[in-house]
Structure 1
Amino acid sequence: MYPPKHHQEYNIENIKKVALEYPFATLVSAKEKTPFVTHVPLVFHNDKLVGHIDKNNPHVELLKDNYPVTAIFQGPQTYISPSIYTTKSLPTWNYIIAHARGIVKEIKDSDIIKRSIVTMTEYLEAPNHRFVLDHNDERMNRLINYIHGFEIDIQHWEGKFKLSQDKVPADIENAKQELIKNNQNNIEDFVNQLFKNHF
């Protein structure tokens, strides 16, 4: 990831927070000149990222023991108009991104895969836990043979937080408010339009 120093995040805990708050990751592997990309939720468990995908996904062959992989977690992002600044500027884009590079370990034991799915559900259902997945749920038993489980031993974290850090304090605050506002408004408008077009 191209890292201008003033946009690079060096606090590992801040970088991890992106993965914790936005666990739907883009998983990237490469075989010779062919990239493999899968979108999948990943959660922390015992300081590792744990996930699972459909065994029919061709990415499976690169999510086995000792293969390198990169997980990309995208936080809030938005276009920043110069109109919000108190000083003259050009249009830009602000965003929060975390990369986790590591090595894959395949999870072959179906009981451990089921436990990992239960753990993931507990994490994603927090804090209200309106649904509790039973480890012995019959639906899981029927699907388990079609699931490829894996964990990622993280070797390197990298964060790029482009948040108008090169601006005066008033403009940094304006950009922060724009990031918050646009993410709330854009998500609502986009999802409403998408559902209107599909249902």
Structure 2
Amino acid sequence: MYPPKHHQDYNVENIKSVAKAYPFATLVSAKDKTPYITHAPLILKGDTLVGHIDANNPHVALLQNNYPVTAIFQGPQTYISPTIYTTKQLPTWNYIITHAAGIVKTIKDPELIKESMVIMTDFLENSNDGFKLSKEDPRMDRLVPYIHCFEIEVQHWEGKFKLSQDKIPADIENAKHELIKNNQISIADFVNGLFQNNF
């Protein structure tokens, strides 16, 4: 990522926290100058990301043992109007984003694939009262042949938290509140609009 130092975060735990809070990742690979891009949830275990995609996805050819891949996790982002600052500024865009670059390891054992699905479901349910996926569920055996399961051994984490850090403390605080407010509003407006226009 383009690296103005005041927007870079070098605390690996901070960077990993983005992957945990926003696990729906963008996977990027390339072959013969052609990019392959897939969107899928990835669950972080230590320095390893675990995921699975449809086995018919052409990206599967590049999500094999020892292939390089980058996973992008995007946190909240918003336009920042100069009107929210206490000092004179220009418009900007604030955002939180994490890149995880690593090497793929393919998982082919059906039991390990089912286990990865159980672990992912437990993480995403995030509740003692949530849905519990069982490895013994007969539907799992029918599903496994259609899934490509893999791990990414992360070799490099990179975090860019562009949050108006170059401004005075009052303006940094205002930008933080604007990020929170705009994300809540934009999500509600977008989802409500989708239901009105498309369903």
Q: TM-score range by the shorter chain?
A: over 0.9
* Alignment correspondent of 1:126: 126
Asked whether the 8 Å contact 1:26–1:38 carries over to 2, the reply is yes
Q: CA RMSD in A?
A: 0.8
Report the number of matched residues: 199
Residues of 2 paired with 1:188 and 1:128: CA distance? 27
- Provide, for residues 107-147 of structure 1, a one-character-per-residue CA deviation record: whole Å limited to 9, x for no partner: 01111001000000000011344100011112211111000
* Alignment correspondent of 2:87: 87
- Equivalence map 1:34-53=2 (5 Å): 34-53=34-53
Structure 2: which 5+ residue stretches go unaligned?
none
Structure 1: which 5+ residue stretches go unaligned?
none
- Equivalence map 1:1-16=2 (5 Å): 1-16=1-16
2:2 aligned counterpart, secondary structure: coil
- Equivalence map 1:1-199=2 (5 Å): 1-199=1-199
Residues of 2 paired with 1:184 and 1:197: CA distance? 20
Residues of 2 paired with 1:129 and 1:62: CA distance? 38
How much does 1:162 deviate? 0.1
Moved over 6 A (4+): none
Asked whether the 8 Å contact 1:122–1:129 carries over to 2, the reply is no
Residues of 2 paired with 1:150 and 1:7: CA distance? 32
Asked whether the 8 Å contact 1:79–1:94 carries over to 2, the reply is yes
How much does 1:159 deviate? 0.3
Residues of 2 paired with 1:26 and 1:135: CA distance? 27
Distance 1:129 1:62, change over 3 A: farther
1:145 aligned counterpart, secondary structure: helix
- Provide, for residues 155-187 of structure 1, a one-character-per-residue CA deviation record: whole Å limited to 9, x for no partner: 000000000001011000000000000011110
- Provide, for residues 40-93 of structure 1, a one-character-per-residue CA deviation record: whole Å limited to 9, x for no partner: 000013531000000100000000000000000000000000000011111100
Residues of 2 paired with 1:46 and 1:129: CA distance? 25
Task: State the TM-score, normalizing by the size of structure 1.
Answer: 0.98
1:99 aligned counterpart, secondary structure: strand
Task: State the TM-score, normalizing by the size of structure 2.
Answer: 0.98
State the identity %: 73
AA at the equivalent of 2:149:
G
Deviates more, 1:95-104 or 1:138-147: 138-147
2:140 aligned counterpart, secondary structure: helix
AA at the equivalent of 2:7:
H
How much does 1:195 deviate? 1.3
Residues of 2 paired with 1:124 and 1:195: CA distance? 24
- Provide, for residues 85-110 of structure 1, a one-character-per-residue CA deviation record: whole Å limited to 9, x for no partner: 01111110000000000000000111
Residues of 2 paired with 1:126 and 1:3: CA distance? 34
Asked whether the 8 Å contact 1:77–1:179 carries over to 2, the reply is yes
